[in-house]
Amino acid sequence: MDTHFLHHVLLHLHIFKNAGTTFDRALSKLFQDQMTSYDTENPGARISIEHLTQIQQAHPESRVITSHQVGLPVPVYSGVIFHPVFFLRNPIERIQSCYHFEKDVQKLMNDDVTMEMYVRRNLNNPKINACFGIQLATITDNRYINNWNRDELTDIVVNSALNNMQTARCFGLVDRFDESFEFICHRLETYFPELAQNIKPAQQNISQASKNIDDKTKYVQESLSKETYSKMLDALKGEIILYETAQKVFENRYNKYSKRT
């Protein structure tokens, strides 16, 4: 197929607290007015394949689209090719990041709300939420999820997410952000020459958490009762499998890439 006449769109699946703001800032510097950031007014809404098609067609000049509400699969239609990109994060470590961000930055809870209270509240929430299910739900085939409920996160959903991660042209890991950004640029620069520019993204909303995973996961465990910690691990089972597999896939891909450079 002659790709010269195709319009390529980098589609950023912006997962909350997964280095998405840092990635978007870097893309914005490179693509400027050719980048579209789009979320609906309803924070809990999801963007369907049909809706994403409408967004792209309403912004035909855009070569980057980023959204917290978009998922997979991407639309397929004449003349346009989407290249989905996403970042994954240790699901235990990201809980403390969500907690501190919502409490200390967004001011969504009182100072006396402990991590124990926060995790229990999210465990009791039947909906897919910031702590439980968001990574799986974003990169699985979203046609398996109709109501955005956690009980929809079946083995089929986990396997779909694993398949989409393993077949993705590229994805990143938050704890290896610089390497991830370098690798994403390498994999996509054929379609987006701007990515060949040697830039170092300025980190946004990223604490030292992503660089000290062992300490942070231990912090989560020590902040929770044994019962809550056990329930948390059970609720995160699918995302832990996804993340641990993603680590191996990324390590293999990056090692092959680095040996050639």
Burial class (CB in 10 A: 0-12, 13-18, 19+), 208: exposed
Lowest mean pLDDT among 17-26, 71-80, 142-151, 211-220: 211-220
Q: What is the pLDDT of residues 234-248, one digit of tens each?
A: 999 999 999 999 999
User: Does the model's pTM come out above 0.85?
Assistant: yes
How far apart (Å, rounded) are the C-alpha atoms in residues 130 and 119? 10
The DSSP code for 15 is -
Distance (Å, whole) CA 46 – CA 143: 11
Distance CA 78, CA 51 (A): 16
- pLDDT tens digits for 172-190? 999 999 999 999 999 999 9
| Residue 160: pLDDT over 60 | yes
Confidence of residue 134 (pLDDT cuts 50, 70, 90): very high
pLDDT of residue 156: 98
Residue position matching structure tokens 């083995």: 155
